[in-house]
């Protein structure tokens, strides 16, 4: 058995706003600023069960005319940890591997959904959930 099993995932908040003011012919088209936050909650009923919430926000920086979408998406994953996995490494496993799995699902969901909009489909960039000094969330201009 692998150390991490994804039991289920679902979306609890889906907001994809197509910007009607967007001008795809501009030279300075931008997709906005991406912010990603991860939180982990242990189950109260089952010792090795955890909920990982992945919140993704994509918002314009300033000039709304250059941004095709405004997005808020929360993906929730239910994960089971192998009981033999070291307790001190559980949070790291969930915040890196669990969040990566949910981010991939969210990326695919957004790509498929935005492909039915009037603008170019949105594919979120690849990001790393590996810890860096003092980082609790991800923020990136894309």
CATH of residue 92's domain is: 3.10.420.10
Domain-located, residue 55: yes
Q: What is the pLDDT of residue 26?
A: 78
pLDDT tens-digit profile of 95-113? 999 999 999 999 999 999 9
Residue 28 DSSP class: T
Domain-located, residue 25: yes
Q: What is the pLDDT of residue 141?
A: 46
Whole-structure pTM value: 0.88
Domain-located, residue 131: no
Higher-pLDDT residue of 138 and 111 is 111
Domain-located, residue 109: yes
Structural domain boundaries, residue 75? 4-116
pLDDT tens-digit profile of 25-82? 877 777 788 999 999 999 999 989 999 999 999 987 776 667 899 999 999 999 999 9
The secondary element (H helix, E strand) that includes residue 14 is strand 4-18
Number of independent structural domains in the chain: 1
């Amino acid at each position: 058995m692998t150390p991490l099993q994804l039991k289920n995932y679902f979306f609890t908040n889906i907001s994809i706003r197509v910007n009607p003011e967007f001008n795809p012919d501009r030279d300075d088209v931008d997709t906005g600023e991406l912010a990603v936050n991860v939180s982990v909650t242990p189950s109260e009923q089952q010792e090795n069960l955890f909920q990982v919430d992945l919140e993704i926000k994509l918002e314009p920086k300033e000039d709304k005319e250059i941004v095709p979408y405004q997005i808020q998406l929360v993906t929730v994953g239910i994960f089971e940890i192998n009981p033999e996995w070291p307790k001190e490494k559980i949070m790291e496993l969930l915040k890196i591997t669990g969040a990566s799995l949910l981010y991939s699902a969210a990326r695919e969901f957004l790509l498929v959904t935005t492909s039915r909009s009037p603008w170019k489909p949105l594919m979120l960039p690849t990001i790393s959930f590996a810890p860096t000094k003092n980082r609790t969330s991800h923020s990136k201009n894309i």
